[in-house]
Amino acid sequence: MRPSGRQPTDLRAVKITRSYTKHAEGSVLVEFGDTKVICTASVEARVPRFLKGKGRGWVTAEYGMLPRSTTDRMGREAARGKQGGRTLEIQRLIGRSLRAAVDLEALGERMIAIDCDVIQADGGTRTASITGACVALVDAISHLREQDLLERNPLVNMIASVSVGVFQGTPVLDLDYAEDSNAETDMNVVMNDKGGFIEVQGTAEGDAYSRDELNAMLDLADQGIRQLLEIQQAALSG
């Protein structure tokens, strides 16, 4: 039924490659099928103005797509002179989600800047970004701990994210672009490794969705995120 031939409960092939580029403290290539995102975590010895002198750190995120990561070439945001609403919305979601993984006081007065740059898009770029960025974040924190800069571990839990939706009447997990662009409902879920919800964002694209559909989607998301958390652990112990 699904264009890809997957079962409704199947994730795409997920692959997490650490140390993908050489300069960043954490650098991950995350692949959810044909969706490929470079996630880097950069440690900076400063905090935003509103946190100066408060003894706490910060995690922030930026998101971008290469112009030809998509089927048709998109205008380059740097050339157009501003980031679009979709971009800002996604990077706010990524930053908020990752801050839920970190004890900002344990981080001290420093910042970790996450960059998620999509080099190939096939649906689910924001969920892949969050899932990959959390691994890059762990590597950046390890880098700080190896330098003995932290008194205690600021990582409070792992987080991962997946999309779920209703496609041709059936709730499905981890939508690719062919599904995403035709789904009746599209929901992005971020959870932590204790099974708690960080974010639930569900949008009816066509008809409204029922409470039952909502529940079915959340069940799928919960199961998919468990698998993603295992793939993250495998990558981190690799």
User: With binding defined as CB under 8 A, does residue 218 bind a second copy?
Assistant: yes
User: With binding defined as CB under 8 A, does residue 64 bind a second copy?
Assistant: yes
Q: Which is nearer to a second copy, 172 or 191 (CB)?
A: 191
86 in a labelled binding site:
yes
10 beta partners: none
User: With binding defined as CB under 8 A, does residue 51 bind a second copy?
Assistant: no
Instruction: Give how many residues touch a second copy by CB under 8 A.
Output: 64
CA distance 123 to 120: 10
Among 31, 57, 69, 139, binds a second copy (CB under 8 A): 69
Q: Which is nearer to a second copy, 7 or 101 (CB)?
A: 101
Q: Around 111, how many Cα atoms within 13 Å sit in the side-chain half-sphere?
A: 16
196 in a labelled binding site:
no
User: With binding defined as CB under 8 A, does residue 211 bind a second copy?
Assistant: yes
Q: Which of residues 131-150 bind a second copy (CB under 8 A)?
A: none
* Cβ atoms of 170 and 7 closer than 8 Å: no
Smallest CA-to-CA distance from 134 within 87, 190, 186 is with: 190
Q: Which is nearer to a second copy, 45 or 237 (CB)?
A: 45
Stretch of residues binding a second copy (CB under 8 A), selected from 8-16, 20-28, 165-173, 223-231: 20-28
CA distance 127 to 188: 7
* Cβ atoms of 118 and 65 closer than 8 Å: yes
Q: Where are the alpha helices (DSSP H) in 100-147?
A: 104-107, 125-146
In terms of DSSP bridges, do strands 111-120 and 58-65 run parallel, antiparallel, or are they unpaired? Answer: parallel
125 in a labelled binding site:
yes
Instruction: Measure CA of the first residue to CA of the last residue in the chain; give whole Å.
Output: 35
User: With binding defined as CB under 8 A, does residue 234 bind a second copy?
Assistant: no
CB of 126 to a second copy, least distance (A): 13
User: With binding defined as CB under 8 A, does residue 203 bind a second copy?
Assistant: yes
CA distance 228 to 115: 20
Contacts of 170 (CB under 8 A, 6+ apart): 1, 8
User: With binding defined as CB under 8 A, does residue 22 bind a second copy?
Assistant: yes
Q: Which of residues 74-133 bind a second copy (CB under 8 A)?
A: 76-79, 81-89, 91-92, 96, 100, 113, 115, 117, 119-121
Q: Which is nearer to a second copy, 52 or 82 (CB)?
A: 82
6 in a labelled binding site:
no
- Pick out the residues of the known binding site for phosphate: 86, 124-126
